[in-house]
Amino acid sequence: MFLLELPLVMGFLIAVLTTAAFTSILFLIVHGFLRNKRPKTTRTFAQQMALRIGTLHALIIALVFGVIASEYMDLEKALDIEATSIGSLYTVLTTIQADDTAKIRNQLIHYLKNITDTEWKQITKRPLGKSTGQIIFEILRNMQNWQTSQLHEEKIKKLCNGYGT
């Protein structure tokens, strides 16, 4: 996780340099054991191949790191959008004093507590649980059943119904 928190270029460079250092150290250890037991042509060929293989490994690891870092950033953006949407919906629903909206606000709070208290703690142990998905589907179902009385309430309902499809 430390590398993913760094800027992409820094993480890329650290991945490349770490891999190159590891392969270089491995080469030096093997080279030390076989120092005088190989002819010069074999030694030159081995040095060239070690350099090429190490460079390819470093490139592959750096590319994999780049893909993972990109996916991590996309996930962060998606989480930001979800959090902003939930916060905006909650704020809008606080201005509308109705029994339906109070129930939906309470469900939003329950959904967020379930994510932060349960899902985030267990994410490394198993995939996300079904309970969180059930909560958000219940919120969407309640939004569909919401009896609106004004035009702006109907617009909010239509917007939220678009998320459930």
pTM comes to: 0.54
pLDDT at res. 3: 64
Alpha-carbon distance 105 to 160, whole Å? 13
pLDDT at res. 127: 58
Per-residue pLDDT reduced to its tens digit, 21-56 = 887 888 788 777 777 777 778 778 877 888 888 788
CA 27 to chain centre: 35
- Crossing angle for the helix pair 99-114 and 40-94, to the nearest 10 degrees: 160
- Residue ranges of the alpha helices (H) in 95-163? 99-114, 120-122, 130-145, 151-163
Per-residue pLDDT reduced to its tens digit, 65-101 = 888 888 888 988 888 888 888 888 888 888 877 777 8
Does residue 114 have a pLDDT over 70?
yes
Domains of the chain, by residue range, sit at 2-71, 95-163
Give mean pLDDT, residues 5-18.
78
pLDDT at res. 4: 65
